[in-house]
Amino acid sequence: MFRKLLLLPWFLAIFSFSQDTAHFDGKTWWDFVKVLAADNMEGRETGSASLRRAESYVVSQLQEAGLQPAGSDGFYQPVKFHSLQIVEKDSSLSLIRDGKTEPLTLGEDAYLSTRVDLAPEVQAPLVFVGWGLSIPELKYDDLAGLDLSGKVAVVISGSPSSLPGSLAAHYQSSAERWKALRKGGAVGILGIPNPASMDIPWSRIALNRAHVSMSLADPKFNDTDGEKLAVTFNPAHAAQLFTGSGHSFEEITALAKERKPLPRFPLAVSIKATASVEKKDVLSANVVAKLPGSDPELKNEYVVLSAHIDHVGIGEPVNGDRIYNGAMDNASGSAVLLDVAASLKKSGQKLKRSLLFVFVTGEEKGLLGSRYFTAYPTVDPKSMVADINIDMFLPIVPLKRLTVLGLAESDLGDAARQVADAHGVVVQADPQPERNIFIRSDQYNFIRHGIPALAMGVAPEPGNAAQSKIFKDWLTQRYHAPSDDLDQPVDLQAAALYEEIIRSLMISVADGAQRPQWKPDSFFRRYADHPGQY
Ligand SMILES: [Zn+2]
């Protein structure tokens, strides 16, 4: 069901009339979404036949738009995975207190995460490490002075407000976090979602644990080597971890809510885990297409437009629905790529640089398809000048304001600001850095290979409580739920304007005299300056 469209605001009407920028009407975009998020696409799980079907549809549309194959096998770049599924009936978790065992209920109290290679059995004391962050360049270290040897580190997600958002996000990635904890001798991580910044309620987090995890088959990508245990703990049941430690979980959450510094101390309990995991080989693919540029020199450079096409497949039913359609996450972004490609064919506009359209797999498994693509790009890695990533941009309110992730990191952010400005849209940096969304989508892998990147999403107007509620409710109810489907209200005009901004930004980069540059003070510049070192 659509939300009824509003009339075009006057300034847009004048703008589109005088500048003739109306390449989109929202309807062609929604038509693509309707195909990719249909029930018969079964939620596009990585490695599934239905994802392959969605990808072959994408390839047919790219061909129609006159794009050329740019994968390693035609339009495809095959990617090998291992899938990991916990067998809960043969697995268990308990706390050991004063020699006595207190069994935990899987799903209610906590669950075992297969994002690491779980050891069959682990028993270890627990240490609360607060935010669990170790940031050498800021001389910030939550692990300082703690004995972690042979222990499981208990962390709460998020970061103190004293740390810059992008930097804190980077050091919360599982790779960076584990690097520091491993150095300290820890054997595992028990994570407690911060109740103040949980996107989805525990009941649905617990349901989602039934989805299989995946890792890239190539062992070079294993960055949690030595992590024997990964547990996610229900914050509503976490008080029992703190009993007898001299601190209460209430005290911790009150500080965490304010993003204040947290105390760090050993807990009075140990954790005991038994894990049985089923492993399988899985084959999936990225889809890569190019539109060659017209400038004899610059056509050897690419502006990348990326979006993940996978979602989480079929899972536990919610209100009787088992298909996790992923209409916004991320049929919506894949549809923008297809729609932009079609619009370029229609307008016949020639761009100086080449464009690369990359539809990645395995995003929902931990940004794995983009990780593979950026490690083994199908074009010269130095030829990729920028990545504009589109993931769940949420056109669910009229578009007046865009959140730009990576806004201050490179001059790509300035270009985005200019383009948005010209369309009457205000840009803002991430207003909720504690949600870590900067590292939660595929732009992050491009950044880690030195390529300036950003991602943008529709944002509520500040002070507009009704709009804020629409976003909050969307995350609580639809994010990674079967109701992220075709029966949700969308604002087609917001989608059309978003596409217009993406298209203009892409063209401005493709025709720009200089390739985008990292800002001198950007933390992420290090990946461009010292490739392969971080
Ligand atoms: Zn997702």
Lowest mean pLDDT among 201-205, 209-213, 437-441: 437-441
**pLDDT recorded at residue 3:** 32
Measure 364 CA to ligand 1 centroid, in angstroms: 5
Answer yes or no: is pLDDT of 280 > 60. Answer: yes
| pLDDT at residue 16 is higher than 60 | no
Mean pLDDT for the stretch of residues 248-256: 97
Q: Ligand 1 centre and the CA of 231: distance in Å?
A: 20
Which pLDDT score, from 0 to 100, does residue 533 have? Answer: 59
* Ligand 1 centroid distance, CA of 126 (Å): 31
CA of 125 to the centre of ligand 1 (A): 33
**Could you tell me the distance, in angstroms and rounded to a whole number, from the CA of residue 72 to the centre of ligand 1?**
26
Residue 454 has pLDDT above 80, yes or no: yes
Q: In this prediction, what percent of the chain has a pLDDT beyond 70? A: 95
pLDDT tens-place string over residues 314-343 = 988 889 999 999 999 999 999 999 999 999
Bridge partners (DSSP) listed for residue 457: 403
Q: What is the pLDDT of residue 198?
A: 83
Indicate the pTM of the whole model.
0.86
CA of 311 to the centre of ligand 1 (A): 6
pLDDT greater than 90 at residue 125 = yes
Rounded distance from Cα 196 to ligand 1 centre (Å): 20
Alpha carbon distance 472, 325 (integer Å): 20
Alpha carbon 355 to its chain's center? 23
* Per-residue model confidence (pLDDT) at position 532: 66
Q: Write the CA distances from 423 to 116, 159, 332, 416, 506, integer angstroms.
A: 45, 34, 21, 11, 15
Give distance in angstroms: CA of 329 to centre of ligand 1. Answer: 5
What confidence tens digit (pLDDT) does each residue in 36-69 have? 999 999 999 999 999 999 999 999 999 999 999 9
Grade residue 431 by pLDDT with cuts at 50, 70 and 90.
Answer: confident
Q: Is the pLDDT reported for residue 72 higher than 80?
A: yes
Instruction: Report how far ligand 1's centroid is from the alpha carbon of 236 (Å).
Output: 24
**Three-state DSSP class for residue 230:** strand
Residue 8 and residue 22: Cα distance in Å, rounded? Answer: 12
CA of 474 to the centre of ligand 1 (A): 13
What secondary structure, in 3-state letters, does 13-78 show? Answer: HHHHHHHCCCCCCCHHHHHHHHHHCCHHHCCCECCCHHHHHHHHHHHHHHHHCCCEECCCECCEEE
The answer on pLDDT for 529 being more than 90 is no
479 CA from centroid of ligand 1 (Å)? 7
Residue 288's identity, in one-letter code, is V
Distance (angstroms) between ligand 1 centre and the Cα of 214 equals 14
Measured in angstroms, how far is the CA atom of residue 366 from the centroid of ligand 1?
10
Q: How confident is the model at residue 6 (pLDDT cuts 50, 70, 90)?
A: very low
Supply the mean pLDDT for the chain.
92
Task: Identify the pLDDT of residue 88.
Answer: 94
Is 21 in contact with 15 (CB distance < 8 Å)?
A: yes
| Predicted pLDDT at 210 | 77
Name the strand (E) or helix (H) holding 85: strand 76-86
Taking the centre of ligand 1 as the mean of its atom positions, its distance from the CA of residue 363, in whole angstroms, is: 7
Q: Calculate the dihedral angle through the C-alpha atoms of 360, 361, 364, 366, rounding to the nearest 10 degrees.
A: -80
CA of 310 to the centre of ligand 1 (A): 9
Q: How far is the CA of 25 from the centre of ligand 1 (A)?
A: 26
Per the CB < 8 A criterion, the answer to whether 66 and 291 are in contact is: yes
Q: What is the pLDDT of residues 342-379, one digit of tens each?
A: 999 999 989 999 999 999 999 999 999 999 999 999 99
Distance 83 CA to ligand 1 centre (A): 17
The winner for highest mean pLDDT among 14-23, 221-230, 524-533 is: 221-230
Tell me the average pLDDT across 64-88. Answer: 97
